Structure formats: structure tokens, C-alpha cells
Amino acid sequence: MVEFYAPWCPACNALAPTWSDLSKRMRRKQLGVRTGAVDVTKSPGLSGRFVVTALPTIYHVKDGEFRQYKGPRDVDSMLGYIEEQRWKQTDPVPGWKAPNSLQMSLVAEFFKLSQALRNVHNMLMETYGLPTWGSYLIFAVGTIFLGALLGLLLVCIIDFLYPPRRPDKVFVSQAEADKLLEKKEEELINDDIVDDAEKDSDEEKNSPPDTSEDDDEKQVSEGGGDNERATEVRKRRPRKAD
């Protein structure tokens, strides 16, 4: 049986005499059960392995299986939990969350880091007399700098493992280059000729119909006395083809 406690926790301090009495009675009855207590302020990594989020927290450990005890915290209840093997009615912690798994080892390292940062925070305020906001500002600047450094390192690793593809260069002789240039110029000239032809065709389609000379003379003769002063016949509008 393992208890996780903290010196500043009132519930943990109230449980301390009961826990000591439980240990004595287990030894007296020779149940082969040992009790232990872990100070989370001194062993943050171990509390991280067990994901201790409330204090006090009690675990039952047997044959590599971990079960959290959630019953009453008096001596008789905890002693009956062992003697009557009521621990078999409690599901063990799943393998992915077991304290001895690899992922929980990583979680333990994060707990250690958080405790170290907390100690630095307390040192800045107590030893150097910095205000709380000053300590937070230092941590913010350090976090930004560290994040940028890690991002740069990650980009370098990705570029090293997966280098960007560069376009393949094709080398040609000067003669081939001149031929390609001439061919390109011919294509541009042909495109200009086709564009001009299409433009002329559109202008012819949109031009008004031409009137013949015979139609002009007929209009003059039919005009009678009113058109006697007309001495010139309207000239035919020249066509573009002319």
C-alpha cells in the first residue's frame, strides 16, 4: 500500500496517524504487506508516474498490477481491503497508463521539469526579490526563445531527412539553343499573322453593305425636279479588297 501526500495538505496530515497504525497492525498480523508514503514535493517524478491529481492518494500494488484504493480511510476498512482480498474487485490500471510503462516515464519527466521550474520561480521571488509579473515575464521570454530554437532545429532535421527536390538541368549546345530560339520566333510571327487575318475578317463582317453605281443613278433620275441640282452621283464606297 502506497500513500502519496504533501506536507502542506491538511487531509494528509490527518491521515498520518491512521497510516502509521495500519502499518503496525499489518506487521503484527504478518500479512506480508508493506506500507509506504511518498512526498510529492520531493518525488514529483514518481507522483507523475501514478498521475496523482488529488491528495492523499492510495495505491495497492501486487504482482505488477496497480489499483487505486478509493474506500474509507480508517484502519479497519483498509485492513479488510487486504485481508478479505477486496482488491480483486477493483480493476487494475490499464497497461497504457501503468506507472511502469514507457509513456508514463515520459510523463514523470514532465512532472520533474514542472517542479524544477516552480523552484526557479520561488528562487527568483524569494532570493532576488522579483515581483510575480517579473518572474512570469522571464519565463515567457525564455519560452519564446526556446520555442524558436526548437522550431529551427526541427526544420533543419526535416530538410536533412527530406531535402527539397531541385529541378533537373538540361544542357544543350549553342546550335540547338539557336534553333530553339528561331523556332520560337517563327511561332510568334505566325501567331501575329493569324491574329491580323482574324481581325480583318471581323472588320469585313461588321462593315455596312455597298451600293452599286446603277442604284445611285436610278435614285438620281427618280428624284425629278427636286434633284435637278444634283450634278454628282454618290460614289461607291471602296471595298477593302480594292
Q: Count other C-beta atoms under 10 Å from residue 7's C-beta.
A: 10
For residues 176 and 183, what is the distance between their CA atoms, to the nearest angstrom? Answer: 11
What is the three-class DSSP state of 99?
coil
Q: Which of 9, 37, 55, 220 is catalytic?
A: 9
Phi first, then psi: what are they for 61, rounded to 5°? -120, 125
For residues 28 and 32, what is the distance between their CA atoms, to the nearest angstrom? Answer: 10
For residues 38 and 87, what is the distance between their CA atoms, to the nearest angstrom? Answer: 21
What is the three-class DSSP state of 203?
helix
Cell readout for 62 is 501486487
- On the question of a cis peptide bond just before residue 238, with omega within 30 degrees of 0, the verdict is no
Q: Which of 1, 2, 6, 12 is catalytic?
A: 12
Catalytic residue list contains 156: no
Catalytic residue list contains 12: yes
59 beta partners = 2, 68
Phi first, then psi: what are they for 118, rounded to 5°? -65, -40
What residues are labeled active site?
Answer: 9, 12
